[in-house]
Structure 1
């Protein structure tokens, strides 16, 4: 049997992480970087990326950044070109960039629906396609990690905050993950998704303030919401060779909320 310590080691691997300047993306960047991966993070704002680079560099992580808006096709193309130029290849792709919009279904603005769909599912298709074409398929190796959500595993309840577009887009991410895993397994590429529950982030700030952290925590068997470390272990699993026989899977990291 091979070394389990080596199976989780990412030394020599490269990773492109979208939405990597803060929140869950930055948490994942820290985890993969700590395990030895060379990191390139991306988001829309240069200032946030510079701050994230400084934070990661202080931890001894080799990190670079590219500012790009994944809602724009030309930015996605430029991002992949830059990543290939700086990293040489892309072993690990973390599709984390996303958006949400709160409105009742009967009043949901169509432009807002399109914005959420374009960023949350269309952009990860385009980015995965380009990374597959230019790096993973030719190299016969790849680890794709999509950020879904427990909102993509269930419907809205009567007391929901009106996140129909977000829920729908994350449901699409779930089946995109399964479908791409089926197609690209022959190339040595695994495709899995993390489905977080409630974590403190820019996107969830409104819900946490409206409902209350204690009330949200009380819904889960573990009686807590996620923290700044809770995605790290699962991300390293899916990014490393420890998961070489796992593909097309959706892992909920939610304190047990979807188990009840």
Structure 2
């Protein structure tokens, strides 16, 4: 399988489209310089529309599909060059949420709670395990680096562990076309005894793989956490059930 690495300047341009729609104006976080394949960070504090607050922004749900090393979520480095990007110049979806938190909160405990909320609302899935590991690592280091950037000291181990717990549920391995753990679908073998007392083995294939119906696979469906409850406790739900609910909503059922 081939791996595709998206340059940070392209991630930035596409993330800017999301924010232009949300803020209803352009160049909120930075100004693109397309001919140089880079951007110039806006240094001024981000202003919000009258009908929206900074808390609304950090609690917006964001999902990167087939995320690889998750460059759309956090841009610690350019995936095509390996060049490190300073905290204040990062352009990922989570980076932007953390910038907003840094600009609006001074007290460390309040900062930690807001940051947990931002992480809980940021999701990604990836097929390949090695890329998934790098994505999770990037999200964890992003937390540590932002804490040090804001408070000029290391976060407590307990704070790091809390963020790691969220990441472990929100960034997961999945075959995005099936909603299951990769390669977990398989043949079903059933044994029966015929009229002559002879044992027969029957093989049947995964219905979902045959029909292409994401709701009929016999593999291991991936679980994520609904963080609506307080603390780090949340209801475990199948990712495909979110698709099922969306499908029913569209069809008015």
Q: TM-score per shorter chain, which class? A: 0.3 to 0.5
TM-score (norm 1): 0.35
Greater length-normalized contact order (CA 8 Å, ≥ 6 residues apart): 1
Greater helix proportion: 1
Compare CA radii of gyration and give the structure with the larger one: 2
